[in-house]
Chains A and B, each alone.
Chain A
Amino acid sequence: MNALRRNVLKGAAGASAVAVAVAAGLLKPTQALAAAPRSAFEAKNVGDAMKDLGAASPADSKDITIKAPDIAENGAVVPVEVTSAIAGTTMIAILAEKNATPLVADFSLANGAQGFVSTRIKMGQTSLVRAVVTAGGKSYTAAKEVKVTIGGCGG
């Protein structure tokens, strides 16, 4: 069944064309998603990026869950899932704090949508992965460390 699902999806090339274009760097995330200003994606540090997102000083929240590996298997494609249990979540942004441009993705959610996003991000080095959520005009945040290691030498 899984093999069938895979083949069906492979066959339906059109369905994944957008994702492929993003992955190949043809589209910048801003063009694909267009939720945050371009300046936020170009910001060189977390503070500036959050300011440009309109979330300059978010409150720490336990209602945000970040699912990401403790150690990345491949820094080029680190799977990250963010779940926001905060009512009325309208935006979820993901930042890799030590990337040259920390803001990796920004999703705007229609009111009433489930606060859940799943994507893959690129990380150059060990860093906190931070999620920033806005809901009801307020902003919230949580972070998890993802280690990027040289590899090898395992017992």
Chain B
Amino acid sequence: MHMNRREFLQLLAVAAASGMALDSKSALAGKAPANFYEVPRHGNVSFLHFTDCHAQLLPVWFREPNVNLGVGDSYGKTPHIVGQNLLKAYGIKPGSAEAHAFTYLDFQEAAKVYGKVGGFAHLKTLVDKLRAQRPGALLLDGGDTWQGSATSLWTNAQDMVDACIKLGVNVMTPHWESTFGAERVLEIVNGDFKKAGIDFVAQNVVTNDFGDQVFKPYVMKEMGGVKVAVIGQAFPYTPIANPRHMVPDWSFGIRDDGMQQWVDDARANGAKVVIVLSHNGMDVDLKMASRVTGIDAIFGGHTHDGVPQPVKVKNAKGVTLVTNAGSNGKFLGVMDFDVRGGKIQSYKYRLLPVFSNLLPADKDMDAYIQKVRAPYADKLNEKLAVTDDFLYRRGNFNGTWDQLLVDALMEVKGADAAFSPGFRWGTTLLPGDAITMERLMDQTAITYPQTTLTEMSGETIKTIMEDVADNLFNADPYYQQGGDMVRVGGIEYTIDPTKTIGNRIGDMTLKGKPVEAKKTYKVAGWAPVAEGAQGEPVWDVVASYLRDKKVIKGVKLNTPKIVGVGKNNPGIAAYDGSYS
């Protein structure tokens, strides 16, 4: 669907008139979309921040989760609030454009009204508009930028590298970037990025042998006479969550002692504003902000939480603001500081949804995107099937897209059960949309796509599920890796997220029969982290399944029974299974 602004406003009026779940006053009168992007500058030091766009160069649909449970001290706190609870917490009007951007509520209807989100040509227009009012503002890229689409995989990340240079990125920190291999990362950092003046920073990546910094820990910039430092924090668990062999000589980790050292160093060198550009994930950022002193703000990503306003975290010497800027190109964070007398006096923050219908495409960026896609057009546009179902991924336990993947794996591989990683990227499809090769690649485009079929004992299956559940629900954020629960096909189970490792998963059944510890099952999977794994790429397996089915209809979501989280938990709503 492509509309100009006039058509969009007309549709909005029609939608409201036809009784859709829109607040007609806010959507049509008062704060009309015409001034949606009027964000007057506050103060004199500004940062623009995007993160986790997952290589989506064109506008997409992306549904936010209806399950995002917080455990321990995080229970019911940002970012573990969904739907109406999130709207209430941040005073967002139900039915408004923001409500659509920040929640899953009425997604299908609202998507038709508000249109697609993101896209680098539209983002470029917004960045330029904000920069025009904010001379010297820095554009920060929080990582997970080079991975997630067919074209980024097929161009070895070059399409995104060139797009980020055109967009005007100033500073970046990595996560999935590393899955292109250490050599390729260094080639870009020391080549294209260096030439373009983009700083690639990460204080927590050091060599295995001597602990030397692999990248610059931080960069010092000057804005309107004020010195500002941007410290990088790469995803701490890259060699664990992703293949170790792709970055064999680098060690990561949270390293908050190192963080403290570089904050102090930046302050000693005259920084009046110290920013951390982080790929920790929000819960880890919140804990780090309570332990490390002297950081003014952490601009975070990884956990894909679209958080409307910063969380203020107290520590021994002051307060640190923690943000998280969503994913898939949906949002641009705008942080304005008023710095006077060597100190931050006040701030203003907006997390702006990038509605492609409201932002005309930048011509130059648009032409670049068309050009970079052209050689792959036939492959990208191959129509594999049509979906009658609503296909999305995000959520702690399952999504219909992942269900489709595990269904395909089980059928094609002849497996009893299947595992699919709990990735948080991957776009959304509305009923009636075509499933093209490009949309399938949105869910699967990684550099280790091999599928596997393994004989596993029931005990091993449980161990794996317990291990992943602990990466998600460990009460200490420093032990969380920021993905969602492994998607399980074929096996039904109960989970109590509040328990400890080994005690969360129970009542495992396969076709109604208990999974036996000693019995062997055939389990299909993909994305092996071990070196040398062999197997057909997952997109080929699923593409053959889709071509065969032609129409996807009635995908049955395998949702675990959740216990221990409470009926009134603000982190869960509209759940397909049962919870208590």
Contacts and interface: CB of A to CB of B under 8 A. Distances in A.
Interface of A: 2, 5-6, 67, 69-74, 79, 126, 147, 149-155
A155 B253 contact: no
A149 B240 contact: yes
**5 shortest A-B CB distances, which residue pairs?**
A154-B241, A155-B483, A155-B424, A153-B421, A152-B529
A154 B284 CA distance: 14
Contacts of A151: 240-241, 244, 529
Contacts of A150: 463-464, 467-468
A74 B244 contact: yes
B468 A70 contact: no
Contact of A71 (B423, B479, B529): B479
Given A149-B240, A152-B528, A2 B212 contact: yes
B486 interface: yes
Contacts of B323: none
B252 A73 contact: yes
A75 B182 CA distance: 21
9 contacts: A70-B478, A126-B501, A151-B529, A153-B468, A153-B527, A154-B471, A155-B241, A155-B304, A155-B483
B303 A155 contact: yes
A6 B241 contact: no
B447 to A, nearest CB: 14
B240 A73 contact: yes
A150 B529 CA distance: 9
A143 to B, nearest CB: 15
Contacts of A70: 253-254, 476, 478-479
Contact of A153 (B253, B254, B483): B483
Contacts of A152: 241-242, 421, 527-529
Nearest to A118: B211
Contact of A147 (B421, B479, B483, B486): B479
B443 interface: no
Contacts of A5: 210
Contacts of A126: 501
B349 interface: no
Given A153-B486, A154-B237, A154-B482, A73 B209 contact: no
Interface residues of B, number: 44
Given A73-B239, A73-B253, A126-B501, A155 B478 contact: no
A154 B210 contact: no
A73 B241 contact: no
Nearest to B213: A2
B229 to A, nearest CB: 23
B496 interface: no
B497 interface: no
B251 interface: yes
Contacts of B463: 150
B336 interface: no
B478 A154 contact: no
A149 B481 CA distance: 11
A45 to B, nearest CB: 20
A69 B238 CA distance: 13
Nearest to A72: B240
A70 B257 CA distance: 13
Contacts of A67: 257
B254 A154 contact: no
B244 A73 contact: yes
B253 A149 contact: no
Contacts of A71: 237, 240, 479, 481
Contacts of B59: none
Interface in B194-235: 207, 209-210, 212, 235
A79 B206 CA distance: 13
Nearest to B485: A153
Interface string B408-431: 000000000000011111000000
B501 A153 contact: no
A137 B238 CA distance: 44
Given A6-B209, A155-B423, A155-B481, 7 more contacts: A70-B479, A149-B470, A151-B241, A152-B242, A152-B421, A153-B423, A154-B240
B407 interface: no
B483 A73 contact: no
Given A73-B240, A154-B237, A149 B210 contact: no
A155 B464 CA distance: 16
A35 to B, nearest CB: 26
Contacts of A155: 241, 281, 302-304, 422-425, 481-484
Interface string B243-283: 01000000111100100000000000000000000000100
A6 B207 CA distance: 11
A72 B208 CA distance: 13
Contacts of B207: 2
Nearest to B207: A2
In the complex, which of the residues A2, A79, A126, A152 has the most CB atoms of chain B within 10 Å of its own CB atom?
A152
In the complex, which of the residues A5, A150, A151, A153 has the most CB atoms of chain B within 10 Å of its own CB atom?
A153
B532 to A, nearest CB: 15
B421 A73 contact: no
A113 to B, nearest CB: 22
B212 A153 contact: no
Contacts of B468: 150, 153
Contacts of B482: 154-155
Contacts of B240: 71-73, 149, 151, 154
A151 B238 CA distance: 10
A153 B209 contact: no
Interface in B338-376: none
A71 to B, nearest CB: 6
Interface in B454-509: 463-464, 467-468, 470-471, 476, 478-479, 481-484, 486, 501
B529 to A, nearest CB: 4
Contacts of A149: 240, 467, 470-471
A140 to B, nearest CB: 22
